[in-house]
C-alpha cells in the first residue's frame, strides 16, 4: 500500500466524517430532523439495558457506508449497528475493510455528555492503517494514516512534547483511562472491579497505585486522550473492532503504542512467557500507551518505558474471555 493510496483513503474518510457531523450535532441537541423524541428512538440494544442505539446511530452508519460504497464498491464493511443487528457472523479477510462506529459513546450521546463521536477506520490485511475520529461537540477532528503521523484539527500529535511530557517510570505516575463496559454480569463486573482495585490500591497493600483513573464513557475519546498525551494509558477488555480500530492508528501514529490487552493476573502463564503481544483489533482486548520521550542520553528508552508500563498494567489486571469479532 503506497503512501499516496493511504492519503487518498484518509482524505475520503475525513471528508465523510465532516459531512455527517451536522447530523450528529442535530441528534445530540435533538434539533432538525431529530427534534422529535419519538423520531430519536433510543432503544436497548439486543435487550441490554446498559447499551442503547438511536436513530442517529443508524442514520450516520447508513450515510457513511453509502458514501464509501459509492467510491470503493469492492471493499468490505463492518459497522456497529449493521453488525449488532445482523449478528457477528461476518468473515474477517485481508481485503480493505472499513470499520465504522457511527456514534461511539451512545450513552454519553443520549445524556448530552460531549465525549462522543464518529469513528471511521480502514484495515488492510486485517491491520488498521487509517483512522479518523471526529468528536463534533468538542470540535475535535483526529486523523492518522500509517507512516504519516497523527493530527488534531491539523496540529501534530501529541499536543505536548518534552519537557512538558515527562517519562513516567511506574504506573504510580500515570493517568489511566478505561471503561466499565456494557456486560453487567456478576462474573464480568467482579473481574473488572478486582482489576481496578489492584490498579488503584496503594503499593504497600499490593497495588499499582495509578495516579488517577478516568472513565469518559467511550473508547474513541479514551484513545484520543492517549494520543494527545493527556492520559498515559488505556486498557479495556470487551470493546469491538469498531470501538478502537481508528483510535489504534491515531495512537501509534502519535508516537504511542498499542498491544493486546489480555491481562496476566491469576493466569497460568510462566513469567518467562509473559511477553507483550501485538494488537489484534478483532480480539477485543487492548492496551495503549502514549508517546514517551527518551530519557536524557538514553536513545530508545522511551519505547522501553512504554513496554515497561504496559507490562506492569497487564500484571495487575485479569483477562476477561470474550469471543473475537467476526470469523477469522
Copy the grid coordinates of residue 97: 475493510
State how beta strands 97-104 and 76-79 pair: parallel
Q: Summarize the annotated binding site for Mg(2+) as residue ranges.
A: 80, 101, 104, 243
State how beta strands 175-177 and 233-237 pair: parallel
Query: DSSP secondary structure string, 128-155?
Result: EEEEEEEEGGGTEEEEEETTS-EEETTE
192: three-class secondary structure by DSSP: helix
Q: How far apart are CA 155 and CA 7, in angstroms?
A: 17
Q: How far apart are CA 194 and CA 169, in angstroms?
A: 24
Q: Summarize the annotated binding site as residue ranges.
A: 80, 101, 104, 243
The dihedrals phi and psi of 125, each to the nearest 5 degrees, come to 55, 35
Copy the grid coordinates of residue 125: 490485511
Helix 3-29, helix 55-71: angle, nearest 10: 160
Query: DSSP secondary structure string, 40-108?
Result: H--EEETTEEEEEE-HHHHHHHHHHHHHHHHH-TTSEEEEHHHHHHH-S-PBP-SS-EEEEEEEESHHH
Amino acid at each position: 500500500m503506497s503512501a499516496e493510496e493511504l492519503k487518498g483513503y484518509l482524505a475520503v474518510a475525513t471528508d465523510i466524517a465532516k459531512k455527517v457531523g451536522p447530523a450528529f450535532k442535530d441528534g445530540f441537541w435533538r434539533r432538525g430532523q431529530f427534534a422529535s423524541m419519538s423520531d430519536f428512538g433510543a432503544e436497548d440494544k439486543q435487550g441490554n439495558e446498559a447499551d442503547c442505539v438511536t436513530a442517529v446511530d443508524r442514520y450516520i452508519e447508513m450515510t457513511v457506508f453509502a458514501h464509501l460504497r459509492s467510491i470503493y464498491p469492492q471493499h468490505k464493511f463492518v459497522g456497529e449497528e449493521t453488525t449488532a443487528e445482523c449478528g457477528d457472523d461476518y468473515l474477517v479477510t485481508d481485503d480493505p475493510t472499513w470499520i465504522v462506529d457511527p456514534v461511539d459513546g451512545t450513552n454519553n450521546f443520549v445524556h448530552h455528555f460531549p465525549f462522543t463521536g464518529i469513528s471511521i477506520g480502514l484495515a488492510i490485511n486485517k491491520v488498521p492503517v487509517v483512522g479518523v475520529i471526529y468528536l463534533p461537540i468538542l470540535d475535535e477532528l483526529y486523523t492518522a494514516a500509517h507512516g504519516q503521523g497523527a493530527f488534531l484539527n491539523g496540529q501534530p500529535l501529541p499536543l505536548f512534547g518534552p519537557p512538558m511530557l515527562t517519562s513516567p517510570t511506574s504506573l504510580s505516575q500515570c493517568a489511566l483511562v478505561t471503561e466499565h463496559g456494557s456486560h453487567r454480569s456478576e462474573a464480568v463486573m467482579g473481574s473488572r472491579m478486582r482489576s481496578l482495585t489492584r490498579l488503584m490500591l496503594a503499593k504497600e497493600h499490593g497495588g499499582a497505585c495509578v495516579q488517577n483513573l478516568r472513565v469518559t464513557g467511550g473508547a474513541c475519546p479514551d484513545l484520543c486522550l492517549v494520543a494527545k498525551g493527556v492520559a498515559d494509558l488505556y486498557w479495556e477488555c470487551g470493546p469491538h473492532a469498531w470501538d478502537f480500530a481508528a483510535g489504534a492508528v491515531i495512537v501509534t501514529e502519535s508516537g504511542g503504542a498499542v498491544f493486546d490487552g489480555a491481562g496476566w493476573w491469576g493466569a497460568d502463564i510462566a513469567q518467562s512467557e509473559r511477553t507483550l503481544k501485538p494488537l489484534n483489533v478483532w480480539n477485543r482486548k487492548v492496551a495503549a500507551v502514549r508517546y514517551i520521550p527518551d530519557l536524557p542520553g538514553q536513545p530508545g528508552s522511551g519505547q522501553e518505558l512504554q513496554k515497561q508500563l504496559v507490562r506492569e498494567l497487564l500484571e495487575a489486571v485479569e483477562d476477561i474471555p470474550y469471543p473475537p469479532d467476526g470469523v477469522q
